[in-house]
């Protein structure tokens, strides 16, 4: 073959491959989701998310310490609450003596330098299991915003660094930005779930929180998986309303959306490598169908290559160990 261009020349050795590598993962790319449950000295594995545990607050602090030793310094906290703490208006979400806000305070007291992201949505606290206020089977948009704002301000007061509205209500980023600013929290950022799709890959997460909707589905507020241009509308609105970081959820089945937002926004782009994506790789690896470590790193690399600056992933600990 008479060819001056031979791309294989740059693949001849490990040193050369490393030298010309276009995309690199670093532990600083990761945010690790954490689950907190009520009690003391409790640690329960989420059956559908192998290797991921719900921790009581005391043990969660120990877990964060181990993660810091691996170089992980950013966390996203989610609460597992008993049904007796849930009601129609998610009142537990802003209870200063409740599990979630007390745990935020404990984390920031012991580890003031970590970045703590919090979740703003009604479903962990709602007796209906939906992200918004329900009336006659309909999820109300504008009435939900006041509840979300109260929740966000309470989280900021407890010590949250980044507020993560995951509810997909229209106008919620601007509403939360004003509420935070008016309460004196102009320094607290908003990492907005801008393109959150009505996905089949959330099931294990809902197991972890026992937060599945009690009726219907979330398709009237989460996005249609068939749509991409709609993601640009959501991202533009969130940007105009004051979002600091835009997020795509899920990640692996929406790599095109990550790339689309990267090409059309100057803001940092985050992607949530969700529980179902994690569980698929874990299940296949446990059955010997693929190399779990290679599949993990390849999937994380694909998310970064698509344009994500930040990756929320349950693989964070394992990936950090390999990267080290």
Which pair of structure tokens corresponds to residue 194? 């801008």
Q: How many residues comprise the chain?
A: 324
Give backbone dihedrals phi and psi of 262, rounded to 5 degrees, phi first. Answer: -60, -40
Q: Is 318 labelled as part of a ligand binding site?
A: no
The whole-angstrom separation of Cα 311 and Cα 315 is 10
- Of 99, 198, 91, whose CA–CA distance to 151 is shortest? 91
**Cis peptide leading into 250, omega within 30 of 0?**
yes
Which pair of structure tokens corresponds to residue 68? 């810091």
DSSP code at position 273: E
Q: Are 195 and 231 in contact (CB under 8 A)?
A: yes
DSSP code at position 224: P
The whole-angstrom separation of Cα 213 and Cα 193 is 19
- Of 198, 196, 197, whose CA–CA distance to 173 is shortest? 196
End-to-end CA distance of the chain: 42
Burial (Cβ within 10 Å: 0-12, 13-18, ≥19) of residue 243 = buried
DSSP code at position 38: S
Catalytic residues: 196, 249
Annotated binding site: which residue ranges?
234
* Binding site per annotation, positions for Mg(2+): 234
């Amino acid at each position: 073959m008479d060819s001056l261009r031979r791309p294989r020349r740059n693949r001849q050795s490990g040193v050369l491959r490393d030298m010309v590598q276009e995309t690199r993962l670093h532990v600083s790319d990761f945010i690790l989701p954490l689950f907190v449950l009520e009690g003391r000295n409790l640690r329960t594995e989420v059956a559908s998310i192998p290797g991921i545990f719900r921790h009581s607050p005391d043990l969660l602090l120990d877990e964060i310490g181990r993660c810091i030793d691996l170089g992980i310094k950013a966390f996203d906290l989610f609460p597992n609450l008993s049904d007796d703490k849930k009601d129609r208006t998610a009142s537990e979400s802003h209870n200063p003596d409740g599990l979630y806000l007390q745990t935020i305070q404990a984390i920031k007291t012991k580890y003031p330098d970590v970045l703590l992201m919090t979740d703003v949505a009604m479903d962990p606290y709602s007796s209906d299991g939906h992200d918004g206020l329900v009336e006659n089977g309909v999820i109300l948009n504008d009435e939900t915003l006041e509840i979300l704002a109260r929740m966000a301000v309470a989280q900021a007061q407890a010590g949250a660094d980044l507020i993560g509205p995951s509810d997909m209500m229209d106008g919620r980023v601007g509403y939360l930005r004003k509420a935070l600013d008016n309460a004196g929290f102009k320094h607290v950022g908003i990492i907005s779930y801008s393109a959150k799709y009505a996905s089949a890959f959330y099931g294990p997460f809902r197991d972890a929180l026992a937060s599945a909707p009690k009726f219907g589905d979330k398709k009237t507020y989460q996005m249609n998986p068939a749509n991409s241009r709609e993601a640009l509308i959501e991202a533009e609105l969130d940007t105009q309303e004051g979002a600091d970081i835009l997020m795509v959820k899920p990640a692996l089945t929406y790599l095109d959306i990550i790339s689309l937002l990267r090409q059309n926004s100057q803001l940092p782009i985050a992607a949530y490598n969700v529980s179902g994506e994690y569980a698929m790789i874990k299940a296949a690896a446990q059955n010997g169908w693929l190399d779990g470590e290679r599949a993990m790193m390849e999937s994380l690399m694909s998310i970064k290559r698509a344009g994500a600056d930040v990756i929320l992933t349950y693989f964070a600990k394992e990936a950090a160990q390999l990267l080290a």
